[in-house]
Amino acid sequence: MKLKYFAISILMVCLSCDDLTELNENPNGVEPGVINPNLVLPTVVTEASKLYLNLGFGNIAGVMQHTQLDAWFDEHNDYAWTNQSWTPYYGVLRDNKVLYERSTELGMEFHQGVSLIMKSMMFGLITDLWGDAPYTHALNGDLPGVENKLPAFDDQETIYRGIIADLETANTLLSKDRQEYIGLYEDDDVPYASMHMDPALWRKMANSLLLRYYMRLSSKLPDVSRQGVEKIFAHPDDYPLITSAGEDATLSYAGNSEGDSWPSNAVFDASGSNYRRNRMCATLVDALQALDDARLGVWASKVEIPLVVDPGLPAGTDQIEDGVRYLSPDVVGTKSIDTDPEYVGIPPSVSNQPSGYNLNPTPGQTSNNPHVSYLSPIYAEAAGPLLKARLISAAEVRFLLAEATLKGWATGNASEHYLAGIRASFETWGVDNTYDDYVMQPSVILSGDTDEQLEKVMTQKWIASWSATTESWFDYRRTGLPVLHAGPAAARDALPVRFYYMQDEIEMNAANTAKALERLETTQYTQADGANSAWSKQWLLQGTSKPW
C-alpha cells in the first residue's frame, strides 16, 4: 500500500458575489459538519505515519541498537527519558474521529474502514508505549461532563480488545469490490499513489494489524490469541493478509519541504547534523557482518579511514597513508577499538562521549568521525525510493506466522514463513539476488530446538525492522529476543519497556493518572523513578518474566 505523502492547500475564493450578505457553503470546507472526508484522510494517514517513522528511526532505533548518536545522544543511546508526550498521537486521533463521523454520515464505507484502521494503529501505539491510557472517553473534550474533560485511563486489556473489534469491523467494511464504494477518487484524479484508494490493500493492512495485535497478546491471553491467529490463517479469503513486499503499507516522503522530508535529511537541515550525528550501532553491524548480509551495504557507509594497529611500527606511530590510519600499539593503549576495514558501529551506550569512539581525532558536537560508519548517503536525501515509513510489511506478517507455528498453533510451516519473511525483506531493500546463498548458511537455516528456532525468527525480524524498530522493541519486551544488553553509560542496566506519563497529564488529570500508576508493576530497575518509570511493567508484561 504505497501512501504517497503530499500536502493539501485550501484556497477559499468568492465565486459568486451577487449578494455579499449570503455565504456559500463550501463542499470542501474544513468545518466538521461539512468537511469532505477525502480532505481529512490523507492528513490522518501522513501524520500517523510520520509519528511511527520518527519513533522507529529515532530513539527506539537506539534502544534496539540499530543506530547510535554521537551528539545530543542522551535519549537515543542512554534512555535518559523523562516526559514523553502523547499529545501528537491524540491529535491525529481527533482528526481521525472527524473522518469517521463524517464518512459515517455520508455512507462512505471505504473511509470508515480506513479510519478504523488508523484508530487501531494509533491507540495501539499509545497503549504499547505508555500502558493504560484514555480510550473510551478520549477525544470527547467538546462534550459536557468531567468524564470527558478528564477521562479515565482504560486498562490495556480493554484497549487491545477494542482494537481487535475495530479491525474486525474494518475487514468487513473493506470487503466489497472497489466500484461498490462511494466517494473514491479515480486513480488519475488523486494526487497520491492509486493504491491509496484500493480497498483490497487496505483490507490486507487491517488483517495484518489484526494478526500483529493477536500476537501481542499471545503471552497474556493465549487462548484469545491462538483462536484469532488460527482463524485468520484458516480463512484467507475472509482475512487476506499482506504477503508480498509490493503490498507493504508504506508512506513515501515527497521531499519538497522540511515537513515532508526524511527526518535525517541534509537538504533542509543546513548544518547536516541530523544526518552526520546518526551512526550505525555495533550490535547491528556485527550481526549483519557475521551473516554476510547484503542489507548492510544498503543501510550503512563504509568507514572513511580504516584503522590498522601494527606491532611492527615504531613506538608513537600515528599516521595516515593511502587512506589508512596506522597506529603502533602504545598509541592505542588500553582503548577498545574496532579495526574492521569496512564497517564499524558505535557500541550501545559506550560512554559519555560517543563522538570520541574509535580514536576519533575530532570528538565533540561538530565532529566528523572517519573511523565509524555513517548511515548510507540515501538517508541524507529528502526523498527517495527507499525512504518510506513502513507501517506493516509482508516480512513482519511472515515472521508473525512463523512464531505462531513454533508455538504449536495451526498456522502452516514455520520454516516456509520464516524464509518468506527473509525474502520479503531482501526484496524490499533490493538485495534479493543474494537471498539463495544467504539462507543456506547454517546460522540462518531454521534448525535446532524450538527455543533456538524462535531466536532465529526474532533475530531476523529484528534485522528486517530497520527504520521501523518500534515493532521490534514491542517484540523484545514480550519475548526477550534478540538478546540485547544495555551499555555502560545507559540509565539502567536493562533496556526500558515503556514511556513515562507526561507531567502535564499527571498534574491536570491527577486522579485518573494515579489509578493508572497503581496498576503498573515496579521492578528492580525502576529505582528512584517510582511507578512512573520506563522500567515499570505494563499489564501486558506482568507475570511473563519478560524481557527480564
Specify the pLDDT at position 370: 97
Is the pLDDT reported for residue 27 higher than 80? no
Say how far apart CA 163 and CA 155 lie, in whole Å: 13
Place of cell 481487535: 164
Say how far apart CA 305 and CA 222 lie, in whole Å: 52
**In 254-411, where do the E strands start and end?**
278-280, 307-309, 318-321, 324-327, 388-392
| pLDDT tens, residue by residue, 90-113 | 999 999 999 999 999 999 999 999
Across the range 404-431, mean pLDDT stands at 98
| pLDDT tens, residue by residue, 311-328 | 999 999 999 999 999 999
Specify the pLDDT at position 186: 61
Are 455 and 446 a contacting pair, CB within 8 Å?
no
Closest C-alpha to 231, from 164, 175, 293: 164
Specify the pLDDT at position 2: 53
- What pairing do the DSSP bridges indicate for beta strands 318-321 and 307-309? unpaired
Are 527 and 533 a contacting pair, CB within 8 Å?
yes
Could you give phi then psi for residue 318, rounded to 5 degrees?
-155, 90
Average pLDDT of the chain is 92
Name the pLDDT band for 142 (thresholds 50, 70, 90): confident
Name the pLDDT band for 218 (thresholds 50, 70, 90): very high
Say how far apart CA 389 and CA 254 lie, in whole Å: 12
Specify the pLDDT at position 190: 40
Q: Which of 80-84, 227-231, 247-251, 357-361 has the lowest mean pLDDT?
A: 80-84
Please write down the long-range contacts of 243-247, taking CB distance under 8 Å and 24 or more positions apart: 243/204, 243/394, 243/397, 243/398, 243/420, 244/394, 244/424, 244/427, 245/393, 245/394, 245/395, 245/424, 245/425, 245/427, 245/428, 247/1, 247/201, 247/204, 247/394
pTM comes to: 0.93
Specify the pLDDT at position 141: 83
Closest C-alpha to 66, from 58, 399, 308, 74: 58
| pLDDT tens, residue by residue, 267-288 | 999 889 999 999 999 999 999 9
Torsion 54-56-59-62 (CA) sign: negative
Are 192 and 39 a contacting pair, CB within 8 Å?
no
Are 78 and 489 a contacting pair, CB within 8 Å?
yes
Are 404 and 229 a contacting pair, CB within 8 Å?
yes
Asked: is 2-265+384-479 a CATH 3.40.50.300 domain? The reply is: no
Are 224 and 217 a contacting pair, CB within 8 Å?
yes
Specify the pLDDT at position 3: 53
Helices 109-130 and 156-173 pack at an angle, to 10 degrees, of: 160
Question: What is the total residue count of the chain?
Answer: 548
Say how far apart CA 185 and CA 537 lie, in whole Å: 45
Across the range 527-542, mean pLDDT stands at 96
Specify the pLDDT at position 111: 96
| pLDDT tens, residue by residue, 453-475 | 999 999 999 999 999 999 999 99
Are 212 and 162 a contacting pair, CB within 8 Å?
no
Cβ atoms < 10 Å from Cβ of 336: 9
Are 474 and 216 a contacting pair, CB within 8 Å?
yes
Place of cell 512463523: 402
| pLDDT tens, residue by residue, 485-519 | 999 999 999 999 999 999 999 999 999 999 999 99
Specify the pLDDT at position 193: 41
Could you give phi then psi for residue 251, rounded to 5 degrees?
-120, 120
Q: How far is CA 123 from CA 90, 224, 389, 474, in A?
A: 8, 20, 18, 14
Specify the pLDDT at position 178: 94
Q: Which residue ranges make up each domain of the chain?
A: 2-265+384-479, 279-377
From the centroid of its chain, how far is CA 367? 28
| pLDDT tens, residue by residue, 289-306 | 999 999 999 999 999 999
Calculate what percentage of the chain has a pLDDT beyond 70: 92
Helices 199-216 and 109-130 pack at an angle, to 10 degrees, of: 30
Residue 482, preceding peptide bond in cis (omega within 30° of 0): yes
Name the pLDDT band for 22 (thresholds 50, 70, 90): very low
Place of cell 498456522: 411
